[in-house]
């Protein structure tokens, strides 16, 4: 965990699947003059203690949300801002429901409450597609990373971005990555959204193959009073591909 900044309020940045706290390097420093900024790695990611990983605890997003709440209580969060990318958007939502006083604002970057299509709900993936994706990851971690990194990142005219995401995927522990991917892609948090009390900003990218615009619009429609911003950024990781735009949108909201 890394704590910087001089502000009286806290702003916590949480990374997505297969990533670590360095994914916020181009965004988080911009808030250090006004906030106490907290960066951290989930257990199993980055420089975390891999021996602390517990398959049972992290068999649902609640295990990760419990860790967020534990960090918040340790640092005395009250009325803090949680900024979560991808799966962390739902982890932050769950944390805010577990400890409502902890976060007054949620910023969801590329959120999805459910990746699977379900009757009239369009999550972006069929069950067969998710099963194929998980099987590929289980059979060939490095091959999956090399194929999915550039695809998830988008922005083919800037291949260095896809290479960075691929490198991040490759450095994750294969077993933990496999289990986190399963939890991520099979979770269903749709019923949690209407209970969110924190002011919420939904940041949606264009041409996002992981969380298409209909998914972001759904999240926005289900969270009372939420704000929706469609970024000009493309791909699933605007914190890497368009950090200035993400920073400006967060600053305008908080």
Give me the residues of the chain with pLDDT under 70, please. Answer: none
The active-site residue, picked from 85, 208, 226, 241, is 208
Residue from 110, 104, 76 nearest 196 by CA: 104
Whether 86 is a known active-site residue: answer: yes
Q: Give the start-end residues of each E strand in 96-252.
A: 103-109, 199-206, 227-234
Express each pLDDT in 165-211 by its tens digit.
Answer: 898 887 888 899 999 999 999 999 999 999 999 999 999 999 999 99
Q: How far is CA 99 from the centre of its chain?
A: 19
CB burial of 70-101 (b: ≥16 within 10 Å; e: otherwise) equals ebbeeeebeebbbbbbbbbbbbbbbbbbebee
Residue from 152, 182, 173 nearest 164 by CA: 152
Whether 226 is a known active-site residue: answer: no
- The pLDDT value given to residue 119: 86
The active-site residue, picked from 15, 67, 85, 86, is 86
**DSSP string computed for 159-176:** HHHHHHHHHHHHTS-HHH
The active-site residue, picked from 20, 96, 236, 241, is 236
């Amino acid at each position: 965990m890394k704590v910087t900044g001089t502000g009286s309020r806290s702003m916590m940045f949480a990374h997505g699947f297969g990533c670590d706290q360095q994914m916020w390097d181009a965004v988080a420093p911009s808030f250090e003059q006004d906030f106490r900024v907290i960066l951290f790695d989930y257990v199993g990611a980055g420089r975390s203690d891999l021996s602390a990983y517990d398959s049972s605890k992290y068999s649902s997003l609640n295990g990760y949300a419990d860790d967020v709440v534990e960090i918040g209580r340790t640092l005395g969060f009250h009325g803090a801002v949680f900024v979560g990318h991808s799966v962390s958007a739902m982890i932050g939502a769950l944390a805010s429901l577990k400890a409502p006083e902890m976060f007054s604002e949620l910023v969801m970057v590329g959120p999805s409450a459910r990746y699977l299509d379900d009757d009239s709900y369009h999550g972006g993936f069929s069950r067969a597609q998710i099963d194929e994706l998980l099987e590929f990851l289980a059979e060939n971690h490095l091959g999956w990373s090399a194929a999915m990194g550039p695809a998830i990142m988008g922005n083919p005219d800037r291949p260095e971005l896809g290479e960075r995401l691929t490198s991040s995927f490759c450095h994750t522990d294969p077993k933990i990555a496999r289990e986190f991917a399963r939890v991520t892609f099979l979770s269903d948090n749709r019923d949690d959204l209407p209970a969110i009390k924190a002011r919420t900003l939904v940041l949606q990218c264009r041409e996002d193959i992981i969380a298409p615009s209909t998914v972001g619009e759904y999240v926005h429609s289900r969270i009372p009073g939420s704000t929706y911003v469609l970024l000009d950024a493309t791909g699933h990781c605007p914190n890497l591909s368009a950090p200035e735009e993400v920073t400006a949108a967060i600053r305008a909201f908080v």
